[in-house]
Structure 1
């Protein structure tokens, strides 16, 4: 099969590449772009470790071919923090509330929670649990993760109120 030209914007930077048609987005991000925060766990779309934002929507990068992302904006966990390295509210809340242990699943949770809070800035605990149900963690028991997402929502709400005052 012939390689295909793609053009994607990843974490704000434009990239043009030639890729095999069956190269999955997760492998492209990790091997071609060096963005190893996108983890590969199950490689079947079940665990959520490879979650990235594709045009703002949380998707499993192991289920999408890189050629399908042509013309898209991709945000990986590396692009969630501000350009100066300041942690996003979600990242800071995960640190503060011990929403991680081994850290393998954490990038997927952070990306998923970031997308979720954009859509639902004032979630209930039940909504948070539903939103993260597509991400698996074998270490934490989820309590710290749920607390972290709730705390990030509150931090973002406060920042929004202060910004509009």
Structure 2
């Protein structure tokens, strides 16, 4: 099947198998930030934006993304760069495997609600698996980022 997917702003035309997942497609095209930890839609590591909405790429057929825009962490480096330092400052990236999924989902949250409260953050990120840190470091990093963003806007 021939698909035309706008991947991180660039048109990619590819002949794919009907059962190829979006996860396999983005990895095949060099987007290695996208990880697969479960293949059952439970871990959030494979999160990408499909037409600006977060989806689990292991659960979406690549053909569904035909004529759509797909964005991975590689495509939003500038948007993510300031935020990820707050996560790192909390030691919440011990092995780093879950970070891309957390970052993609946090950015989706910030786009939807620039100033979420702690409960909204916990709920939005509940689908992300992290075996190293217990999630508290990520939560502190997000809260510190929001606080710094508010302070910056007041200046």
The TM-score, its normalising length taken from structure 2, stands at: 0.92
Runs of 4+, deviation exceeding 6 Å: none
* Deviation sequence 1:91-128 (CA, Å, 0-9, x none): 22222222211111111000000001110111111111
Determine the structure 2 residue equivalent to 1:142. 135
Give 2:10's match in structure 1, choosing from 10, 13, 19: 13
Cα distance, 1:71 vs. partner?
1.2
State the distance in 2 between where 1:72 and 1:116 align.
Answer: 21
- Kindly tell me: are residues 154 and 54 of structure 1, through their superposed partners in 2, closer, same or farther at Cα, counting changes over 3 Å? farther
Matched, 1:91 2:88: no
Matched, 1:117 2:107: no
Matched, 1:72 2:68: yes
Q: Secondary structure at the match of 2:59?
A: coil
> Which consecutive residues of structure 2, in runs of 5 or more, have no partner in the other structure?
none
State the distance in 2 between where 1:67 and 1:125 align.
Answer: 37
RMSD: 1.8
Give 2:34's match in structure 1, choosing from 11, 35, 38: 38
Matched, 1:53 2:61: no
CA contact (8 A) 2:80 2:107 kept: no
CA contact (8 A) 1:8 1:73 kept: yes
State the distance in 2 between where 1:142 and 1:57 align.
Answer: 23
> Which consecutive residues of structure 1, in runs of 5 or more, have no partner in the other structure?
none
User: How many residues align structurally?
Assistant: 155
Cα distance, 1:152 vs. partner?
2.8
